[in-house]
């Protein structure tokens, strides 16, 4: 049996389940997955229906962080080695403008209202706040050494930035642009993700090999999640990207060169399963209805597709070299 | 005097080299506290374990059973070798799987075990080589630092003798040569650090193909072009 046939079989129940979840809407809307390829300086565009790359776009040097504007019309890409954020129109594929990003932008996040943009400047120990409509830098917030992970509370009031070398999660007030608290986490924190209800922020530590679940009000660690995979050496377990379902039931944690995604019960913090995806799994993104989870695999140069309901890896899609970040359109 | 022209540049380069060498660190990113001398951005993973690339049945990682079958031993060596293009190696796996009978999964698991061992052995040698490389760079940096200090002392000296002048010249020449070697080695670092990664890619691609041939394991689909 060929893979398209297997996929058709595997995805049909998904489509039905998703349609049922939407209360009788008869079809699942198609969407696109945009993947930044760090070494090729390109963006791969994957179509959700064929699960194939339908377009490859040349961008600036060392593209890493990637996001869509809230209306989905523009793609923002951190071109890290060009010290800029490029803005691309997703209909015409034309470069619209560049945003003043500060040096070496790596990861960024949009305010829930769609503006401004908060950018981690890895080489300059800053978080740059940019108004994306009028291209203005609103603030530069000094943070720890090598800032990277960026999470924002659902109400937009608190920004969490992690600094790789200082090993801290910095809590920044988005009105005053001041650090209001720091939480020490394990070595080389990489990524911060709030739960949809804003009650927790999950911070991954790449070298520490853990995820710290933090209460953002008390700014205390509630739980530290560790990972053990039979047949995998502990030093290969390097948590990076994390995504949590909207209902707060499950979290998925990318474990870097362990080549696995950990499935975590987000209520009990127990690891349910480890899914073998591709090599050096880095960042994760859900389909709009959370039926699928996409992973970038930086060494095997592909994107794995996980069926979230069945907790199975259903497909691998070859993309450019060193796929790093990814984002999914709403439609 | 040509030495006068190159010195400012050399001074600037030296500063950079010594800054880098004083704290041997990956080209980018934070230092791994467990392996402070490891020079690559990729965190040091001494060995690829089965669980990192294999979702099939349990593997005896040090098992030797694959060596007992001539066909398995030959195939394992053939597909592990980097000179064989990966597509051809994958075709070899497909051909091998087609002929297998009831013990298909067992044979495929043995094939994986052999590939894992061969590629890991080669990779370990490369990892050890990278560490030697980093140590040599560290030693060279110390030598450059010492020569620079000596040169500075001699230059500050009042009433320099002819022997001093000769010594300055000799030190300048040595520094020029050492910094050039250091620079070239430093530039090769990212290439050197890629070598273990290339082997990991091959191991994973082979493992995926072997898993796709296993009748009971549908864990690891092949990439679509």
Distance CA A47, CA B106 (A): 38
Smallest CA–CA distance, residue A239 to chain B, in Å, is 13
Cβ atoms B195, B126 nearer than 8 A = yes
**What per-residue string of b and e applies to A207-245 under the rule 16 or more CB within 10 Å gives b?**
bbbbbbbbebeebebeebbebebeebbebbbbbbbbbbb
Indicate yes or no: CB of A52 within 8 angstroms of CB of B32. Answer: no
Specify the pLDDT at position A182: 95
Specify the pLDDT at position A181: 95
pLDDT at A79 over 70: yes
Is A315's Cβ below 8 Å from some Cβ in B? yes
The nearest alpha carbon in chain B to A300 belongs to: B201
Is A5's Cβ below 8 Å from some Cβ in B? no
Tell me whether the omega of the peptide bond preceding residue B54 falls within 30 degrees of 0, making it cis.
Answer: no
Q: B53: which chain A residues are within 8 Å (Cβ-Cβ)?
A: 259, 276, 279
Q: What digits encode the pLDDT tens for the residues B68-114?
A: 999 999 999 999 999 999 999 999 999 999 989 889 999 999 999 99
Specify the pLDDT at position B214: 82
| Mean pLDDT for the stretch of residues A62-88 | 95
The 3-state DSSP composition of chain B as helix, strand, coil percent (nearest 5) reads: 70, 0, 30
Share of chain A above pLDDT 90, in %: 83
Q: Tell whether pTM > 0.90.
A: no
Confidence band for B31, pLDDT divided at 50, 70 and 90: low
pLDDT at A28 over 70: no
What residue has token string 């300055």?
B168
What residue has token string 């990972």?
A227
Distance CA A110, CA A311 (A): 29
Smallest CA–CA distance, residue B203 to chain A, in Å, is 10
pLDDT at A24 over 50: no
Specify the pLDDT at position B12: 43
* Residues in CB range of B50: below 8 A, 6 or more apart: A231, B59, B61, B112, B113, B116
Closest among B195, B200, B31 to B129, alpha carbons compared: B195
In angstroms, the first-to-last Cα distance of chain A is 30
- Partnered with residue A67 across adjacent β-strands are A76
């Amino acid at each position: 049996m060929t893979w398209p046939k297997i996929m058709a079989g595997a995805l049909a129940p998904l489509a039905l389940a998703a349609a049922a979840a939407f209360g009788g809407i008869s079809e699942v809307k198609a969407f696109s997955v945009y993947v930044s390829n760090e070494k090729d300086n390109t963006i791969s565009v994957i179509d959700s229906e064929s699960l194939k790359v339908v377009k490859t776009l040349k961008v600036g040097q060392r593209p890493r962080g990637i996001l869509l504007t809230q209306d989905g019309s523009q793609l923002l890409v951190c071109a890290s080695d060009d010290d800029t954020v490029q803005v691309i129109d997703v209909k015409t594929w034309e470069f619209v403008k560049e945003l003043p990003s500060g040096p070496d932008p790596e990861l960024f996040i949009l305010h829930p209202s769609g503006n401004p943009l908060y950018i981690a400047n890895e080489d300059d120990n800053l978080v740059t706040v940019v108004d994306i409509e009028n291209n203005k830098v609103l603030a530069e917030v000094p943070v720890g050494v090598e800032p990277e992970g960026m999470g924002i509370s659902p109400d937009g009031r608190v920004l969490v930035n992690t600094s790789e070398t200082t090993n801290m999660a910095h809590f920044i007030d988005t009105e005053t642009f001041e650090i209001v608290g720091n939480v020490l986490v394990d070595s080389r924190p990489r990524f911060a993700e709030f739960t949809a209800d804003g009650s927790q922020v999950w911070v991954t530590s790449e070298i520490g090999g853990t995820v710290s679940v933090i209460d953002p009000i008390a700014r205390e660690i509630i739980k530290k999640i560790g990972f053990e995979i039979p047949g995998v050496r502990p030093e290969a377990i390097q948590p990076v990207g994390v995504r949590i379902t909207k209902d707060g039931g499950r979290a998925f944690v990318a474990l870097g060169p362990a080549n696995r995604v950990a499935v975590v019960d987000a209520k009990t913090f127990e690891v349910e399963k480890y899914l073998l995806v591709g090599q050096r799994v880095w960042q994760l993104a859900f389909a709009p209805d959370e039926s699928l989870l996409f992973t970038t695999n930086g060494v095997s140069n592909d994107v794995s597709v996980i069926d979230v309901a069945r907790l199975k890896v259903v497909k691998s899609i070859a993309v450019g070299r060193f796929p790093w970040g990814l984002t999914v359109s709403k439609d | 005097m040509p030495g006068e022209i190159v010195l400012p540049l050399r001074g600037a380069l030296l500063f950079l080299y010594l800054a880098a060498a004083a704290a041997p660190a990956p080209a980018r990113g934070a230092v791994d506290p467990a392996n402070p001398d490891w020079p690559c951005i990729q965190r040091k993973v001494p060995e690829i374990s089965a669980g990192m690339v294999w979702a099939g049945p349990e593997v005896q990682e040090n098992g030797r059973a694959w060596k007992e079958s001539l066909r398995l031993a030959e195939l394992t060596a053939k597909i592990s070798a980097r000179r064989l293009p990966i597509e051809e190696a994958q075709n070899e796996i497909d051909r091998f799987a087609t002929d297998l009978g009831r013990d298909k999964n067992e044979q495929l698991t043995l094939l994986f075990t052999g590939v894992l061992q061969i590629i890991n052995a080669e990779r370990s040698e490369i990892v050890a080589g990278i560490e030697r490389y980093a140590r040599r760079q560290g030693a060279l940096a110390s030598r450059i630092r010492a020569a620079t200090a000596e040169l500075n002392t001699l230059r500050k000296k009042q009433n320099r003798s002819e022997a001093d002048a000769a010594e300055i010249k000799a030190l300048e020449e040595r520094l020029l040569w050492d910094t050039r070697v250091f620079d070239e080695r430093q530039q090769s670092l990212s290439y050197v650090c890629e070598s273990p990664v290339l082997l990991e890619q091959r191991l994973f691609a082979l493992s995926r193909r072997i898993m796709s041939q296993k009748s009971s394991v549908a864990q690891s689909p092949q990439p679509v072009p």
